[in-house]
Chains A and B, each alone.
Chain A
Amino acid sequence: MKTEDMLKALTEAPGISGAEDDVAHLLRNYFARLADEASIDKFQNVIGVKKGRTSGGKLMMAAHIDQIGFIVKTFDKGGFIRLAAVGGHDPRVLPGQSVVIYGQEQVRGIIGTTPPHLQKPGDTAKVTSLDDLYVDTGLEEEALKRKVRIGDPILFDNVCTRLQGGLYAAAAMDNRAGVLVLLETLKILEKMTHDWDIYMVGTVQEEVGTRGAAMTAYKISPDVGIAIDVTFGDFPGIPERDTAKLGKGGAVAVGPNFHPALTEKLMQVAEEWEVPFQKEFNPRPGGTDAVSMQIAAKGIPMVQVSIPLRYMHTTVETLDLKDIKRSARLLALFSAHIEQAHREVVG
């Protein structure tokens, strides 16, 4: 299972928040090959368990498998589809995008635009809001309604593209990148010993409020939790302090959402084993699965590693594969040290 191939398969598998079935099944198949147990719960959370030497504790790593998208809200006369957003969209990203509607069968469409020839003066200074956008499938109304129903998911047409220097661009890198980190970590753990049982969880419904993480953390009740997500990659126009650089390793999160001493341990492991990493500073809890995991059940001490990602929530989210591999190495090493680290700083 080559890392590049898994990245392509994971990003191109559909999984809008609330209907993650396809990507969930793909992930379960990967877990079945790399972990001791693999299962899907009734909300489509995917859980892979790798047994430890003593099973003296539980470590849970979570990466969300859902992605932003739309659902079919209504039909307009003539066979056009109006959209409701699932997750956070910038309306300026949408015009001219190719989409796929997951109806009775997959139907291709375009988010419609007005060509310059038919625009009125001043139109180019305006942003079309989501309410005024529509999807055009080219099909006649009757043919369309045989295939598509209100409530059907719509995703951006997604092709994972390799750029120069090991960079890859695709939609849904947020957070299939994190999911891939789980898998790469399992690969490394095959050649390492660890005491605790490790629960690798692909969580659902993160983009609408980190709900899958809340459910699974409650049920598993781990002794330590790790959230794996994406963070803002370097981009012109954004201050450097607000971003992480692509290719410089995963970003370890610092802030009230995270256990300070465990986070310190994680960084010590990185330094000791010379795994490049960066830091990101989150002044308030929010934005990732860590926000609900920290206060799940009786409370879970959390750390977080994020993959630097340019152009988040667009169709061309871009990352460096090196960052995924380095984060996996860091997390595998941390897993091997987790019992000792927990004993020393959490108790």
Chain B
Amino acid sequence: MIQILEKYSNACGVSGHEDEIRSRIEESVRDHVESLSRDFMGNLYAFKPCGRQNAPHLLLVAHMDEIGLMINGVESNGMLRFVPVGGVDSRLLVSKRVILGKDRVPGVIGAKPIHLQSRDEWKSPIPLSALYIDIGASDDKEAAAKVPPGTTGTFHTRFETQEDVVFGKAFDDRAGCALITELLMTEEDEAYPVDITAVFTVQEEVGLRGASVLAERVRPDFTIAFEGTTAGDVPRDDYASPSTEMRKGPAISFMDRSAIGAPRLINHFKATADKKKIPFQMKKTVSGGTDIGVIHTKGGIPSMVISVPVRYIHAPRGILAVEDYKNTFRLAKAALMNFKEVL
């Protein structure tokens, strides 16, 4: 069941350039839904009706895009200048391998050797203005021919498994995309009692842009967003209340900066978890926002977010516990199967 997550994690899709990941998702869900469509922004819609009259209509949403960088200039020596796309801590860019554009042109972000630094230089972070991407081009012409300004790129990271955890990039939110994909892949004899529209959105990382247009198109009765969210169970000076913890099950958000989770949905998920003996946790921080922030206000749509805890999101490589991923799937599937309890 981890294969889909692997396929999605390894795909590229920086905000505004989600073509590759969208193609991967289309391949995976096509045979399991009645219809697939796109809007002009690039959001991908998958419709899976249950065939019953007056069934409630559920929107399942996850964003396809990932943070990354965009080339915005070329130096005469062939070095590329760039700006971050989405929430990127530029301290994480130093000494990393990246891949750029459709052709995945490899590049590296280097730094001045420690040997040539002045005594206190290493005490301040390297500013973005001192970082370059080196693709090995000898001048600006060669560089721009290979990687024209406007090209986006992401970390060059391979998905890997180590015992009960996996390593990879963009689990925020390829974990959500993969979970919705798995939920759509049901057998004929276990149909959900609801009509489902799954939407894989664009441009979440640059301000929930894709999700802003979809509520009016889908007009759902309820929305459930699937996320890969911050796990804070790591050594920190101010270690008090980790956001979420690995191996403690799916995290349910009661609130973040963009929305308050609908109590009737949250209670349904909690009750389902208790009944099925599936572990879960409440997310303990309220920072950040998700796509439901711009969905739930469109006429008033009860919405909630369920997340897989991921250590080191928005970094070159994150860690996720396979059991958390599987438990998120189990809980969501059970909650959808007995959804009539919500009504």
Where the two chains meet, the residues of A that have a C-beta atom closer than 8 Å to any C-beta of B are 76, 78, 80, 88-93, 95-98, 107-108, 110, 112-120, 124-127, 132, 134, 136-140, 143, 159, 161-167, 169, 232, 234-238, 242, 247, 287, 310-316, 318
Contacts and interface: CB of A to CB of B under 8 A. Distances in A.
A117 B230 contact: yes
Interface in B316-330: 316-319, 321
A312 B132 CA distance: 15
A125 B95 contact: no
Nearest to B257: A117
B87 A117 contact: yes
Given A92-B91, A138-B165, A318-B134, A238 B116 contact: yes
A116 B134 contact: no
Contacts of B114: 88-90, 312-313
A318 to B, nearest CB: 6
B75 A318 contact: no
B206 to A, nearest CB: 14
Contacts of A92: 91, 94, 111, 122, 125-126
B112 to A, nearest CB: 6
Contacts of A127: 91, 122-125
Interface in B93-134: 94-97, 105-117, 122-126, 130, 132, 134
A118 to B, nearest CB: 6
Interface stretch (B24-32, B136-144, B173-181, B213-221): B136-144
Contacts of B97: 159, 161, 169, 315-316
Contacts of B232: 118
Given A127-B123, A232-B113, A311-B111, A316 B312 contact: no
Contact of B315 (A90, A113, A132): A113
12 contacts: A107-B162, A110-B311, A112-B234, A113-B92, A114-B236, A117-B285, A117-B288, A143-B163, A164-B136, A315-B97, A316-B96, A318-B134
Contact of B111 (A78, A117, A314): A314
A115 B315 contact: yes
A165 B87 contact: no
B312 A91 contact: no
Contact of B94 (A93, A108, A115): A93
A207 B88 CA distance: 33
A315 B96 contact: yes
A139 B165 contact: yes
Given A112-B235, A137-B162, A118 B94 contact: no
Contact of A78 (B116, B138, B233, B243): B233
Given A90-B117, A92-B94, A110 B167 contact: yes
A132 B156 CA distance: 26
B96 A238 contact: no
Interface string B59-80: 0000000000000000101010
Given A112-B235, A311-B111, A316-B110, A139 B91 contact: no
Given A96-B317, A117-B230, A236-B77, A91 B122 contact: yes
A110 B111 contact: no
Which of A119, A124, A138, A310 gathers most chain B CB within 10 Å? Answer: A138
A165 B137 contact: yes
A304 to B, nearest CB: 16
B163 A232 contact: no
A247 to B, nearest CB: 7
Contacts of B164: 138-139
Contacts of A238: 112, 116
Contacts of A310: 110, 134
Contacts of B311: 110, 112, 136, 138
